[in-house]
Chain A
Amino acid sequence: MNLDIEQAKAMFREEACEILAELESSLLELEKSPDNPELVDSVFRAMHTMKGTGSMFGFDRISEFTHQLETAFDLIRDGQMKVTKPMIDLTLRARDLLFKMLEDEDVSAETEGIINSIKALVPDGVVWSRPSKVKKADLDAALASREALAETSEPAAYRIRFQPSKGLMSTGTNPLFLLRELRELGDCAVIAHTEKIPLLDAIDPEACYAYWDIVLLTDKGLDAIRGVFIFVETDSKIRIEKIAEPGEIRGLDAAEKICEAIAERGDISPDELEGIISQFRLADEAPDGGAECETPEEAGIMQKDWTVASIRVPATRLDALADLVGELVTTQARLTQISALKKDPELTKIAEEVEHLTEELRDNTMSIRMLPIGTTFAKFRRLVRDLSGELGKEVRLTTEGAETELDKTVIEKLDEPLVHLIRNCIDHGIEPPEERRNAGKPERGTIILSAAHSGGDVLITIADDGRGLDFAAIRRKAVERGMIEESSELAEEEIHGLVFMPGFSTSTNVTSVSGRGVGMDVVKKRIDSLRGSVSIESKKGEGTSIILKLPLTLAIIEGLLVRLGGDVFAMPLFMVEECIELTASDSERTHGRNIVNVRGEIVPFIRLREYFFIPGERPPIEQVAIVREAERRFGIAVDTVIGEHQTVIKSLGKYYKNIEGVSGATILGDGTVALILDIPRLLKMVEFEEEAVNSEQD
Chain B
Amino acid sequence: MSPIESRKERPVLVFDERLDISRAKEIRDALVRALGHGGEAGIDISKVESVDLTGLQLVCSACRTASAMGGGISISGDVPDAVCAALREYGFSLRETCSVREAEKCFLGGLKC
Contact pick for B91, options A169, A191, A197, A264, CB 8 Å: A191
Residue B2 at the chain A interface, CB threshold 8 Å: no
Say yes or no: A190 contacts B54, CB within 8 Å.
no
Say yes or no: B92 contacts A192, CB within 8 Å.
yes
Cα(A382)–Cα(B19), bound, Å: 59
Say yes or no: A190 contacts B24, CB within 8 Å.
no
Residue B113 at the chain A interface, CB threshold 8 Å: no
Smallest Cβ distance from A418 to chain B, in angstroms? 54
Say yes or no: B61 contacts A180, CB within 8 Å.
no
Q: In the assembled complex, which residues on chain A have CB atoms less than 8 Å from the CB atom of B92?
A: 192
Contact with A along B53-86 (1 / 0, CB 8 A): 1101110111011001000000000000000001
Cα(A259)–Cα(B91), bound, Å: 10
Q: In the assembled complex, which residues on chain B have CB atoms less than 8 Å from the CB atom of A264?
A: 97
Say yes or no: A205 contacts B24, CB within 8 Å.
yes
Q: In the assembled complex, which residues on chain B have CB atoms less than 8 Å from the CB atom of A212?
A: 91
Interface size on A, residues (CB 8 A): 31
Say yes or no: A169 contacts B27, CB within 8 Å.
no
Cα(A571)–Cα(B68), bound, Å: 91
Residue A208 at the chain B interface, CB threshold 8 Å: yes
Say yes or no: A169 contacts B60, CB within 8 Å.
no
Task: Look across to chain B and name the residue whose beta carbon is closest to the beta carbon of A198.
Answer: B61
Residue A209 at the chain B interface, CB threshold 8 Å: yes
Q: In the assembled complex, which residues on chain B have CB atoms less than 8 Å from the CB atom of A210?
A: 53, 56-57, 90
A192-215: which residues lie under 8 A (CB-CB) from chain B? Answer: 192-195, 197-201, 203, 205-206, 208-210, 212, 214
From A171-179, A224-232, A498-506, the one touching the partner chain is A171-179
B6-46: which residues lie under 8 A (CB-CB) from chain A? Answer: 21, 24-25, 27-28, 31-32, 35
Residue B1 at the chain A interface, CB threshold 8 Å: no
Contact with B along A164-192 (1 / 0, CB 8 A): 00000100001110011000000001111
Say yes or no: B58 contacts A203, CB within 8 Å.
yes
Residue A301 at the chain B interface, CB threshold 8 Å: no
- Known contacts A200-B31, A201-B32; decide if A256 and B94 are in contact (CB<8 Å): yes
Chain B interface size band reads: 20 to 34
Say yes or no: A169 contacts B99, CB within 8 Å.
no
Residue B103 at the chain A interface, CB threshold 8 Å: no
Task: Look across to chain B and name the residue whose beta carbon is closest to the beta carbon of A214.
Answer: B91
Smallest Cβ distance from B14 to chain A, in angstroms? 18
Q: In the assembled complex, which residues on chain A have CB atoms less than 8 Å from the CB atom of B35?
A: 200
Say yes or no: B89 contacts A174, CB within 8 Å.
no
Say yes or no: A190 contacts B61, CB within 8 Å.
no
- Known contacts A191-B95, A199-B64, A205-B24; decide if A180 and B32 are in contact (CB<8 Å): no
Residue A260 at the chain B interface, CB threshold 8 Å: yes
Say yes or no: A197 contacts B53, CB within 8 Å.
no
Smallest Cβ distance from A257 to chain B, in angstroms? 10
Contact pick for A180, options B21, B57, B89, B95, CB 8 Å: B89
- Known contacts A180-B89, A192-B95, A210-B57; decide if A199 and B68 are in contact (CB<8 Å): yes
Task: Look across to chain A and name the residue whose beta carbon is closest to the beta carbon of B59.
Answer: A197
Say yes or no: A194 contacts B94, CB within 8 Å.
no
- Known contacts A200-B28, A205-B28, A206-B54; decide if A192 and B21 are in contact (CB<8 Å): no
Q: In the assembled complex, which residues on chain A have CB atoms less than 8 Å from the CB atom of B31?
A: 200
Cα(A542)–Cα(B13), bound, Å: 81
21 cross-chain CB contacts under 8 A: A169-B21, A176-B52, A179-B89, A192-B90, A197-B64, A199-B64, A199-B68, A200-B28, A201-B32, A201-B65, A205-B27, A205-B57, A205-B58, A206-B21, A206-B25, A206-B54, A210-B56, A210-B90, A212-B91, A214-B91, A260-B96
